[in-house]
Structure 1
């Protein structure tokens, strides 16, 4: 009994020390950006292994892929999970949360919260991990346009994360990640030899409308919001001001370029159905 009591006390002591460590360091305000980024990178590894495990047991196509195709399969699974997470978080902050409401006094470009900061940290962790994968296997996981996209997105997220500024426009741009799952499903269906299936056609139509909403109309709204709040955008430092104007413009150009390819592909698919 004495030994058990001492053991219990020792365990309780270690638990208390661990709680203090987590509260005072890992989740302390100054450390939230760093811990969330590390958490994002770690989550990517966990998601990669999870996709690999599930695919091995439940998808017959997976066993017939070569090494590079399996890596891309797993990597697209990770990007799909991240896209769903950050798109939902972005929609919440932009349209449902009161954090960036015009009814609240103060500059909208200087507002942030613990939740908005940690969510951006997780997203930055993903962009770092995914960019590393793209560069490691370049150009198998994506060409120069993907490198540019990740650098622009990662830089914007990093600025917002570590300065606490520009969260609103960063989240507005990140809503566009909601089109990523459709793009990945298209690749999965193509890889599985289902390019002529109804599922492929339906996904193509969904991807088209999702792209119009999240990468065309959304960016028109972003530019309108920047214009109507330009005095607040000007309050940012020089680099922040450049990001607020330059990144949405560059992404909008890339979105239009990709949209042209999507439209062309959809027309080609529909023509084959006739």
Structure 2
């Protein structure tokens, strides 16, 4: 399964960078869908909720969900008062969540965190409560989680925003749950500058920037994720076991150039060539 995480707008991006990222992500989505890889979307919004695929007639092709539904799910970048709204609206109306794809709304960083991950760890429970703005127990009473919806999915492909936060946190959760996460390095966005100084409402998000230096930006994104994942592993509040730390160390990175041809030839992402975290 592929998770497209927090691509809710293209605000705080240079317009050319946003347009190029939209085209690149659209190409990856097309390859995933044509290869039969399930796509699930994740957004950040108060009041976590899982929107499952909606039934349709057997002879009708899946359609992109209507804009009112998407706005409710957290895709606020379609509204005219958001920066780069025309670019985002064009992307989302042509390649956004389809009626046969789930949308998981979260208000913590990891899309796959569950109650059991923090049981017996009060400090981590408090950290999650601070992220979502409500009591720990309350957050996990909203119905089926994304982890439950995924069922027995073994391989997880991650794309979206941002590398050092929700992407890295979700990758760690996927790893400790045995879902073999692989992050598509050239399909993520990163905050510009020092992540410790980021203001989510004003800091710039980058894909390739305006220079288009792909090799440097792949290293830039991967460096952000390596640092974030290392920080998560060293957080004593998480209480990771040695087996979980070993699983986290095998989180993979793959480029679209390596992933897409394999998808088109095999219809899956298993066995993708990637560079594990050192």
Q: TM-score, normalised by structure 2?
A: 0.31
Larger radius of gyration: 1
If each structure's helix is expressed as a fraction of its own residues, which one has the higher value?
Answer: 1
With CA pairs under 8 Å and 6+ residues apart, which has the higher RCO, 1 or 2?
Answer: 2
If each structure's strand is expressed as a fraction of its own residues, which one has the higher value?
Answer: 2
